[in-house]
Structure 1
Amino acid sequence: MVQPRIAKFQIGQIVRHRTHPFRGVVFDVDPVFDNTDEWWDAIPADARPAKDQPFYHLLAENAETEYVAYVSEQNLLADDSEEPLRHPKLHEHFKERRGQVYVSRPGGLN
């Protein structure tokens, strides 16, 4: 059995996708892949990440819209821009931004 790796990104951290034009804030972490087979099969085979790495739930946004994304660690980078996030659920989960990290709201991750 392969041991899960320690997550590189923390809850509240702002990240961006390595190849796709979106960014977001981490609101949950799975130590290894924990989504449906249908979700997995929808990823082109040549682009599928390894399942034995952390996967992150993001309040994500691009230029057009806001959504929830599920992204492997290998596809994320820390976002060091100072641009604010506009996701409408941001303030349900987090109370404030401190630098590159949002501080969790008590009870906000239920």
Structure 2
Amino acid sequence: MSNKIPHARFALGEVVRHRMLDFRGVIFVVDPEFANSDEWYEAIPEEMRPAKEQPFYHLLAENAESSYIAYVSQQNLVADDEGEPVDHPAVLTMFGAFDGARYALRPEQRH
């Protein structure tokens, strides 16, 4: 059994959807493993709590009611096949053109 952390399946600018909850978003940061607070982690119901040893993604997220920032484990994300842009006010500050699946990262956001 290996303790190796899985590689990130998704990339910056990619539009994804939560596997269980009704929201989608565009990835703007990838953490190779869990990098949030213990309080945040413990607030997730135990039966839904993901393993920490996997990539986690920061999303500019939207649902039917609002836009917000989400932090989601790789196991809970799937590629979004809607082909529609994400309705979040910060998208255009970080990203440029949208090709139906991913946004191009603005040059000034690359580091």
- TM > 0.5 between the two? yes
Name the counterpart of 1:44: 45
Corresponding residue SS for 2:17:
strand
User: How big is the shift at 1:80?
Assistant: 1.0
Alignment of 1:13-92 (within 5 A): 13-92=14-93
Tell me, in whole angstroms, the C-alpha distance in 1 between the residues paired with 2:105 and 2:43: 32
| Distance in structure 2 (CA, Å) of the matches to 1:4 and 1:31 | 7
Paired residue secondary structure (2:72): strand
| Cα distance between partner residues in 1 of 2:58 and 2:96 | 18
1:36-93 deviation line (CA, Å, top 9, x unaligned): 0010011011110000000000000000000000000000000011222110000011
Q: How many angstroms apart in 2 are the aligned matches of 1:5 and 1:19?
A: 21
**8 Å contact kept, 2:17–2:23:** yes
**Counterpart of 1:107 in 2: which secondary structure?**
helix
| Uncovered stretches (5+) of structure 1, i.e. residues with no partner | none
Residue in 2 aligned with 1:11? 12
Partner of 1:102: 103
| Percentage of pairs with the same residue | 54
Q: What's the CA shift for 1:109? A: 5.9
| Partner SS state of residue 47, structure 2 | helix
Q: TM-score, normalised by structure 1?
A: 0.94
User: CA shift at 1:4, angstroms?
Assistant: 1.8
1 CA distance for matches of 2:82 and 2:32?
26
Q: 1:12 to 1:97 in 2, by over 3 A?
A: same
Gaps of 5+ in 2: none
Root-mean-square deviation (CA), in Å? 1.4
